[in-house]
Amino acid sequence: MVILLTNDDGIFAAGLYALYHQFEAEHKVYVVAPESEQSAVGHALTLSNPLRVKEVYRNGNFYGWAVSGTPADAVKIAVNELLPTRPDLVISGINLGPNVGINVLYSGTVSAATEAAILGIPAVAVSLDTYTNPDYKPAAEFIYKLAPKVSKLNLPPGVCLNINIPALPLEQIKGVALTRQATVPLKDKFEKRVDPRQRVYYWEAEDGFQGQPEPGTDMYALKEGKISITPIHHDLTHYPTLEMLAEKYILF
């Protein structure tokens, strides 16, 4: 297969390299990723600034292209400009930290997969459920086994898979769950501080989620020690409300 790897932690991230290392012997692998960390950029594009592209070498060998933009930029420019051929699969990750629940919306990792899906290419976003001492190998092995199956799933146009993997050895993982995105709200918090020049500033300092995730959701699966796979898409229409409003025809 021809595989495009990208991420939002930046081209030098260990999670991206774990995928590269896993796939490169058996597949044609291209790496196109942001040159710097782009976490929580959501589905941003760089329109007001030019994009720069740099060749990146690793141990003296060509590794890939670093893009001065977001994950969605990286996928767009990879497919439209940089790659000599259209990839069969785009893998975004392995992200350091989970991308579940409402955080999916803020996730650069997921937006790269969504962008690939928009471009009509099978895609998965992969995240590891830990922020510390990550061992990416089990997750990379799981994705390696999954990869050839993704194109056979015949996902509808625009749909990709958001995969979250417990930070455990494969034999300790309790299975694979097909899930929906949890919608429990975050505990929003801002820390107000004063800088050395006596000016106020704020840190966004979310502290987890309010309440417990429901069974069937991505968050619940991780809590149970399972890999969660959520099919996601980019049509934000809320169809039940559309029907409800159409019935009422509001008040215009």
Which residues ranging from 137 to 176 are in contact with its own copies (CB under 8 A)? 149, 152-153, 155-159, 162, 175-176
Output the smallest distance, CB 190 to its own copies, in A.
Answer: 5
57 binds its own copies (CB under 8 A): no
Among 21, 24, 27, 37, the residue binding its own copies under the rule CB under 8 A is: 37
Binding range to its own copies, per CB under 8 A, among 21-29, 55-63, 165-173, 195-203: 195-203
Among 141, 188, 214, 224, the residue binding its own copies under the rule CB under 8 A is: 188
Among 61, 80, 85, 132, the residue binding its own copies under the rule CB under 8 A is: 80
Output the smallest distance, CB 72 to its own copies, in A.
Answer: 8
Tokens of 140: 């990379």
The maximal CA–CA distance of the chain, rounded, in angstroms, is 67
Nearest-angstrom CA–CA distance, 32 and 84:
13
Nearest-angstrom CA–CA distance, 5 and 16:
7
Total binding residues toward its own copies, as defined by CB under 8 A: 82
Nearer to its own copies, 20 or 229 (CB): 229
Tokens of 187: 């505990």
**In the range 212-251, which residues lie near its own copies by CB under 8 A?**
229-242, 245-246, 248-251
14 binds its own copies (CB under 8 A): no
Tokens of 83: 């790659």
Nearer to its own copies, 55 or 60 (CB): 55
Q: In sequence order, which ranges of 97-188 are alpha helices (DSSP H)?
A: 108-118, 137-150
194 backbone φψ class: left, alpha, beta (φ>0; ψ -120 to 50): beta
Among 25, 47, 55, 196, the residue binding its own copies under the rule CB under 8 A is: 47
Nearest-angstrom CA–CA distance, 131 and 128:
8
Output the smallest distance, CB 59 to its own copies, in A.
Answer: 25
**In the range 86-145, which residues lie near its own copies by CB under 8 A?**
102, 104-106, 110-111, 114, 118-120
Tokens of 78: 């990879």
Output the smallest distance, CB 102 to its own copies, in A.
Answer: 6
DSSP secondary structure code for residue 216 in this structure = T
45 binds its own copies (CB under 8 A): yes
User: Nearest-CA neighbor of 69 among 84, 54, 90, 91?
Assistant: 54
SS3 labels along 145-185: HHHHHHHHHCCCCCCEEEEEEECCCHHHCCCEEECECCCCC
Which residue in this structure is represented by tokens 């709200």?
185
Among 26, 183, 214, 215, the residue binding its own copies under the rule CB under 8 A is: 183
Output the smallest distance, CB 163 to its own copies, in A.
Answer: 12
User: Nearest-CA neighbor of 168 among 206, 136, 201?
Assistant: 136
